[in-house]
Amino acid sequence: MTQLTSKVGLIVGVANKRSIAWAIAQAASAEGASLILTYAGERLEENVRELAATLPNVTVLPCDVTDDVQIDALFENIQTQHGGLDFMVHGAAYALREDLAAPFSQTSREGFRIALEVSAYSLVALTRRAAPLMAARGGGSIVTLTYLGSDRVFTNYNVMGVAKAALEASVRYLASDLGPQGIRVNAISAGPIKTLAASGVSGFSSILQTYRDRAPLRRTVDTSEVAAAAIFLLGPAGRGITAEVLMVDAGFHAMGV
């Protein structure tokens, strides 16, 4: 029996075939899960539907994580179709390009709000609706995606680093809240990967090269390696782990000067 047989999972944040969330979706499907994938707006709908069509037992639904009406509709649909939820992957993140390019001190008030709302508060909003559906199944697992820029300064990461710091703090508080219901909440801090989100970070190629030069494994990681870690946290092997930020970055986080 595979690790996620008969499990129902929600995956938020698939943008295209390079998305970490898509790699996790593929891995979860291979482990036997039935999936709900979401898209944010018509621009991404076609991509998500084309990808979903390559996997069995996948439902595609809209969800703008800044819209409570859409979030409510998403979970009502999951309740109606599946009667509950076993796991959720949160991969939503966004910041205005101008706020990534400018010095952090120049971050606009609106840009700060957008980055924190989409990249951090959305985990809270989604988890609040997911929790009752997971509790009905006897518990569940939630995994979000973060980056080392939450803890250290990376050039041109700026407000997204602050948003990721808020996201990681949210993981700990949510884990404390939901642990008594058997619901685990964790994050994966992946090394730099060429995704749609990464394309907004100027000088990203130099970050990749720094990892190749400095990480103990002398390389970066790929989406399949992050997905494998996610399956560990989502499945029974990770049943004793919560409130954790799991580093999947070829060891770069351990290095000093």
- The yes-or-no answer on residue 39 being catalytic is no
CA angle, corner 240, sides to 180 and 8, nearest 5?
A: 75
To the query of whether residue 157 is one of the catalytic residues in this protein, the response is: yes
Report the alpha-carbon distance of residue 149 to residue 145 in Å, rounded. Answer: 12
Integer Cα distance of 116 and 166 in angstroms? 8
The token pair at 183 is: 């619901």
| Interatomic CA distance for residues 216 and 240, integer angstroms | 28
Strands (E), the chain: 8-12, 34-39, 58-62, 87-90, 140-146, 183-190, 245-248
DSSP 102: S
Q: How many CB atoms lie within 10 A of CB 213?
A: 10
Among 94, 157, 173, 211, the one annotated catalytic: 157
- Sign of the C-alpha dihedral, residues 186, 104, 198, 216? negative
Among residues 164, 145, 157, 170, which one has the least CA distance to residue 210? Answer: 157
Q: Which of 39, 94, 121, 147 is catalytic?
A: 147
Q: At what angle do helices 122-135 and 159-178 cross, to 10 degrees?
A: 20
Q: Tell me the C-alpha distance between 33 and 6, whole Å.
A: 6
Instruction: Kindly list the catalytic residues.
Output: 147, 157
